[in-house]
Amino acid sequence: MKINQSVFSFLISFIFALILSPGLGYSQLVKLSGPTTGEHSSNQKILLLPGFKTRGPFRAFIVKNLNAKLGSTPSQTQNYVITNTYKEASRQVLTDPSVLQMSQVIQYFDGLGRPLQVIQTKGSSLGNDVVQSVVYDKYGLESKKYLPYVDQSGDGSYKSDALKSQLQFYSDSGLDVTVVKTTRPYSQTIFEPSPLNRITEQGFPGVVWQPSNVARTNDGGRTVLSSYRTNNSSVNYAGDGYAVRLWNAVPVVGEEYKRSLSSSSYYENGQLYVKITKDENWISGDGKAGVTEEYIDKNNQLILRRTFNVKEGKTEVLSSYYVYDDFGDLSFVLPPGSNPDSETISQNNLDLYCYQYRYDDRKRLIEKRIPGMADWIELIYNSLDQLVFSQDPLQRKNNKRSFIKYDGLGRVIMNGVVNNSTATRAQLQELVNSQLVNWERRIANSSHGYSNETLPSVSDLEGPELVNYYDDYSIAGIPSDESINYSKKLYDMPTSSKTRVLGTNDFLWVVNYYNDEGRVAKLYKQHYLSGVIDKKNYDEITNSYNFEGALTLSNRIHHSTKSDNLTIINRYEYDHIGRKIRSYEQIGSDKEVLLVENIYNEVGQLKRRELNNGEQKTTFTYNERGWLKESTSDQFSQQLKYHDGTTPQYNGNISNQLWGAGTTLNKNFVYTYDKLNRLSSGLSKEMSETLTYDIMGNIQSLRRDDMIRNYTYNGHQLSQTIGGPEKYSYKYDENGNTIVDGRSGQAITYNSLNLPAKIAGLELSYLYDATGEKLKKTSKGEVTDYINGIQYTKGDLELIQTEVGVARRNGTSYRYEYNLSDHLGNSRMTFYKNPTGKIEILQQDDYYAFGLRNPIKVPSSDNKYLYNGKELQEELGQYDYGARFYDPVIARWNVVDPLSEKMRRHSPYNYAFNNPIRFVDPDGMAPQGPGPTGTPILGLPLMKLFLSYQKAIMKMGMNNVASVLNTVSNANNAGMAKGTVKAEYTAAANQGVKNLAVGLALGEATGGLLGQIGKGLGATGVGAAAAEGGATTTALAKFYPANNGFLGTEERMFLTPGDQISRYGSSAGKFFSPADTPLPMRALPPGANTNIYNSYEVLKPFEVQTGTIAPAFNQLGLGTQYLSPVSADILLKRGIIAPSQ
């Protein structure tokens, strides 16, 4: 039925009267024209312009002013604790604060001190209360965990009808039409009937994922099943067999640091705990296919992880063994490719497939061998157990070693490469042991500002690659000293660094100045435009922050010899709960542009993104699990199907991807997977890929459209591929880098970071600094300079990367081009607003499942940031991810994974666990999935401009020791490890970072029996930050588990660069968990403030205690916990961690 504009205006007015709500997030005049659907709100007015029409669903409403009063009235009949977080500076107590001045969380407790409700007062986008209910069964267990909901009272009072209201909120008539509708808005947990309260079945929100007493069907019962038993002696692994071969790591006589591998028997019956897990896809007809078995010994060490697949109609057994020596140190990891269920493993197979470790008499890792590398990696330590030398196989061939030097507080002050290092590891270790001094001192008149008392002597150096300075600006050669204008609170703060341009004698300086809160207020960074050091080549960044520490303005002045100063101003606005809602940019004298506006639904999910001053809009919807379901815009739309697809997937795998424009989705990918969740096929009318894999996940065959390509290997290294008349052969260096690319036939030369430096036959070369930052690319004489998001081509400024695309040089001004991306960050469409004011499409791209580009529209303005938002290197046909290049034609990386020890069961060359529809690899280091709430990856550019500067400064160049770090990063994919270093520190080191700069971590999961069975329980949306916050009264503190909340014993490990961690509460605390750990699994102690949530990226290795979290106050616990020796504040100041972007 067509509604004329006058009638609809009356309806709008009627809706305004009914839905007037204390909204807080928007301040704009809204104009609607043409066919319109969805939600539209304003705190001013909504104008219906000529041509407006709607067929629904449609909702429009006016919200109240942005500065609504908090106005809470806690229920006096309940026990409660209020946590107020101030958001602006004030010399007086605020008696009637607004939501922009203060946020508030109220926790209500029963008489036993158990949480009943956690309410974030006016915490939703429209200023309603966000309510998290906690309900217990008759045993005091939280067998149902409810999703948060929104209550319109907005007063923080206790909600006596919470469960009824929550069910109403998720019904078809619920308050927010953009929130998923379900009759089961909770996760149900089934516990075994024993005092252990072990979980046997874990459900999730949604009807399909609820426990069922009948067989699992397409409509229900799709839960995670867990069972427990002990090992037996049967080797019928695909049936009733749970036998485990007993492998021993035996010291070699005369060389006791070496271990030999032997086995002559199996573990006796009943000696190992076995946890059996079946995910949501498993059905009884699968037998053991898709099942995971974890075997834990009495020392809580993981001995075996066994999984099962079906290949060619037969059950395939994949066993990964973890072998420890008599001291409990991990000595061997035997992946499935080595056939570890057999009685013997040859030395050749050990070297090709297995991880091998050796230790000295202080339990320090001194040698290790990684699959794909031709020899051992050697590590040498000083008497403080700080890593001072390392040597990888390629360095050994060239008589080189990497070195690290420290100051008296254990901070890295210098690293680089030693030439002509012919001494053996043992000889060099003896020299290090005999040195009387273990750190350097600041000396003003020395070449690099430090003494020369520790090995190696400066005279022996090829040259330091990085030099770091702390505490002051009394630094010889510093290009700028404006310290008089900034904070003097500089103790332990990184103040400056200089980084070598690899292959040259040039250093690039970075100098950063702080405000009194320890935030970078101003920063100078030299760049390398035209390949020269020039005092005119630098960037000057000035930052401003709000009271909470969020960046509000960044003013970048780009100085260069090529042009006049260019000013780029980025401005950010946040809503009342701290989410970034608007990003603005102004370049030079051009008009400021609203690049992007993010609008959230009532439970905190991104529901709409608007680009280019609101000219282009994309809406998002999610399913019950919080997984992205649809993104819709007039230019590009996408629909993802999971359990509702052609081949239903219940565990998060995507079964269908439909795409098109608007509501017309005329293209469709159908995906299938094997029982290990590896992609078997991705089929559409336009594109198709079908794959098979070997037992390690290396691709055996790939059929793309009508071409079949077969792969052969030497271990994990691809030897050749054959497809029709084409035969590609590959060769590798000692570090496992591809030095002959089969497809192009070209020889590739690498730098010390294992990054490609030269492809002579293509007249192609790359130049990096020692942190791995790409500075220049030269292709057949044409030079592209990269300057943290600014690109020059042939000496002329070509483009500036933005948060959502690029600003391309257009005469004397800039034209903004925007990328619309899918859930993986793949650029699918590039558009701009043409001179007539209309959106004009510049480029369209589709992709095969593993990333091979299939261009739809010939680009009129070539966007090379395509698959996963990474830059396509057209000469090679590969994508630059930062740490590695990826070849989408053969669907493999070209070098060994720098963090391969986090994923030992997988090939170090495989891409995204062979599931590229679900996972991405942000930087070439490790795959990751979407966020815990299913927030889509929206294709942010490779470098995030000004924020990347701050991040780079906090790193202080540490990632330029990638050649060192990749020899010491050892953390497993379950997040818990058995540590191998018991450091002994001097008093000076104890005052500092206790060997936080570098280190090692070894081992595999030790908490498998009580591991993260509850993953995914965390509530979606803003309410998750308040879920089950734990009692906060001192009277209840005695009930919190002892031993810092660890379940059983804790272990020692090192977190490594790229790890994502997070914590609730202020940054003064020392406890962290993996970033995706749901709040209930953290079991926070008394006094924890769950209204504050921060996530961080690890920039430098640092040692923590780790273990399983003990349940507390009837909270689930069982997540992974990290206990740092120092607080998050100190870690941030030292550049060891940085806020995740």
pTM here?
Answer: 0.81
The pLDDT assigned to 1041 comes to: 47
| CB atoms near residue 485 (< 10 Å) | 8
Averaged over 335-342, what is the pLDDT? 98
d(CA 403, CA 414): 8
| CB atoms near residue 266 (< 10 Å) | 17
The pLDDT assigned to 489 comes to: 95
How big is the chain, counted in residues?
1141
The pLDDT assigned to 97 comes to: 95
Averaged over 102-126, what is the pLDDT? 96
* C-alpha torsion sign, points 236, 239, 240, 241: positive
Question: What are the respective helix, strand and coil percentages of the chain, to the nearest 5?
Answer: 10, 40, 50
| Contact of 1026 with 119, CB cutoff 8 Å | yes
The pLDDT assigned to 972 comes to: 25
| Contact of 404 with 440, CB cutoff 8 Å | no
Whose tokens are 């503190």? That residue is 1037
The pLDDT assigned to 62 comes to: 64
Confidence band for 1138, pLDDT divided at 50, 70 and 90:
confident
Written in H, E and C, the secondary structure of 627-678 is CEEEEECCCCEEEEECCCCCCCCCCCCCCEEEEEECCEEEEEEEEEECCCCC
| Contact of 358 with 425, CB cutoff 8 Å | no
pLDDT of residue 966 exceeding 60, the answer is no
Confidence band for 460, pLDDT divided at 50, 70 and 90:
low
Q: Comparing C-alpha atoms, which of 609, 688, 616, 636 is closest to residue 844?
A: 636
d(CA 795, CA 560): 11
pLDDT of residue 1048 exceeding 70, the answer is no
pLDDT of residue 722 exceeding 70, the answer is yes
pLDDT of residue 397 exceeding 90, the answer is yes
Report pLDDT digits (tens) over 15-43. Answer: 332 333 334 443 456 778 878 776 676 66
Select the more confidently predicted residue: 207 or 463.
207
d(CA 366, CA 152): 61
In this structure, the strands spanning 30-32 and 46-48 are: parallel
The pLDDT assigned to 1089 comes to: 60
d(CA 374, CA 393): 6
Report pLDDT digits (tens) over 989-1024. Answer: 222 222 222 222 222 222 222 222 222 222 222 222
Percentage, residues of the chain above pLDDT 70? 84
Select the more confidently predicted residue: 241 or 926.
241
Confidence band for 785, pLDDT divided at 50, 70 and 90:
very high
Confidence band for 705, pLDDT divided at 50, 70 and 90:
very high
Written in H, E and C, the secondary structure of 913-977 is HHCCCCCECCCCCCCECCCCCCCCECCCCCCCHHHHHHHHHHHCCHHHHHHHHHHHCCCCCCCCC
Averaged over 379-386, what is the pLDDT? 97
Report pLDDT digits (tens) over 158-202. Answer: 999 999 999 999 999 999 999 999 999 999 999 999 999 999 999
The pLDDT assigned to 1000 comes to: 23
Confidence band for 724, pLDDT divided at 50, 70 and 90:
confident
pLDDT of residue 12 exceeding 90, the answer is no
Q: CA separation (Å) from 334 to 200, 276, 309, 322, 340?
A: 29, 20, 18, 6, 6
| Contact of 1060 with 927, CB cutoff 8 Å | no
Written in H, E and C, the secondary structure of 397-443 is HCCCEEEEEEECCCCEEEEEEECCCCCCHHHHHHHHHHCCCCCECEC
Helix, coil or strand: residue 760: helix
Written in H, E and C, the secondary structure of 720-747 is EEEECCEEEECEECCCCCEEEECCCCEE
E strand or H helix that includes residue 610: strand 606-611
